[in-house]
Amino acid sequence: MAKNKNGSANSAGNTNASSSVDELLLAALERGDDSFETGRYLVTFKDGAGDQGLQSLGTQGMRVADARDFDGQAATLENIGDADAVVFPEIGVALIGGNAAQERSMGAQMEIASDSPIEIIEPEHFVFAEQFFREAAYLSATKTNGNGSNGGGVNEYLRGFLEATDTITKHLQHGKGYTEVDELDEETMVLGATWGLNVCKVPPSLRSGLGIRVAVLDTGFNIGHPDFVGRPIIGATFVGQPVQDLHSHGTHCIGTACGPKSPAGTTPRYGIGYRSSIFAGKVLSNTGSSVGGSVLAGMNWAIANRCPVISMSLGGTGGVQAAYTAAGQAALNNGCLIIAAAGNSSGPTGYPANSPTIMSVASLDMSLSPSSFSNFGKVDIAAPGRDVFSSAPMPRRYTTMSGTSMATPHVAGCAALWAETSPNMRGLTLWRRLQASAKRLPFSTARVGAGLVQAP
């Protein structure tokens, strides 16, 4: 039985299943607890007991929303009305509001009967685009110590994050977009392919990702980007904002995983699965923040739509969470593979990549050495993550970014090419192929896993 690390199972309260990310962030600051918890709970049901679990929540008097009642199972938390809970049937997980849990004395410390359909109850946590984890952590440390040398606790981190989002919002309001990395040096652009695609052996590959659905769960996508005209794109939002990407993180990741083979002019090739079908799931807001429930809703949607490749450049710092592990296993059971960023805090791999059922990706520099920021520990494979050139929302069109966020879509794109080679190349078989074909590197598996991902 998992326990709330604060030892207070029901200290949350004042949160609903439909609360927005901003409301949950402010509630967390008001509580002042030492965690990244939102105040809501994730209930993971025993294998095959999802429907029984849904019924059990109903018998406790909860108003329960079912993702199957939404088109394509694209359940948006903002649209569940006054429901106390929402169930994601593909992955066997339910999100419960803090108020509803408190009224029923439910929480992470609750004893669970042996005949209950519930496997575990965990606190829901905040999730961030990997780029912003470093930004907010820096602001947190600076605010507390004045020199940026040490972290300042979770509350200072959250305050730092809110300050970071204010900065991002101002950039967006002035039409500048946002990136924490260097501007593209136009003089370096030549015909050919990016360094990342070259070291992954993408250009000589005869595969294009044709017929493969690639889901990228991120900040959305710049619908109408000229490099993607005519491409099949399915969008869904899980954060109460349009799929249109006002951030740039999601558009950049989709560009690497699914971008064109021959961009206009002298622009080098930056995309891998150029004939794949794009499923753009907006699970991070335009300021790069989110919560576990929105991310899981996106994972449920991608699996329900049987996307063989699911790319997630997001996460948080903390231990393995059962809900993500259940989602990863559900993906494998349905011929899908979830690929996630290990994280950029130079520490242990964070969630959801630390789940044993989710492929974890570390970042490499141009020298094929592990990037200084790349997390370590549970790492399954590595890919180019430093100075990665890809698409950006218009009018900018292109930009360069760094992070395990950028390494992850390299693996996702190569996975799409491998998936095209055979209808049997799915799920765990695809996972093993990616690792078996990786280029070995002279570093520990804790830093680079099986090595550098390679295209077929």
* Beta bridge pairs of residue 215: 279, 310
Helix (H) / strand (E) containing 37: strand 37-45
Among the options 84, 218, 245, 380, which is catalytic? 218
> Of 249, 311, 313, 374, which residue is the catalytic one?
249
Structure tokens at 369: 């050495």
Q: Report the greatest alpha carbon distance in the chain.
A: 66
Q: Which residues contact 172 (CB under 8 A, 6 or more apart)?
A: 178, 246, 247, 286
Per-residue b/e over 26-56, b at no fewer than 16 CB within 10 Å?
ebbeebebebbbbbbbbbbbbeebbeebbeb
The verdict on whether 249 is a catalytic residue reads yes
Q: How far apart are CA 198 and CA 269, in angstroms?
A: 10
Structure tokens at 42: 């994730």
Could you tell me if 429 and 309 are in contact, meaning their C-beta atoms sit under 8 angstroms apart? no
**Residue 33 appears among annotated catalytic residues:** no
Question: % helix / strand / coil in the chain, to the nearest 5?
Answer: 35, 20, 45
Q: Given 125, 276, 405, 410, which residue is catalytic?
A: 405
Q: How far is CA 342 from CA 318, 378, 408, in A?
A: 12, 8, 9
- What 8-state DSSP symbol labels residue 134? H
**Dihedral of CA 221/402/326/161: which sign?**
negative
Query: Do you find a cis peptide bond into 352, omega within 30 degrees of 0?
Result: yes
> Is residue 185 among the annotated active site residues?
no
Q: Which residue numbers are catalytic?
A: 218, 249, 405
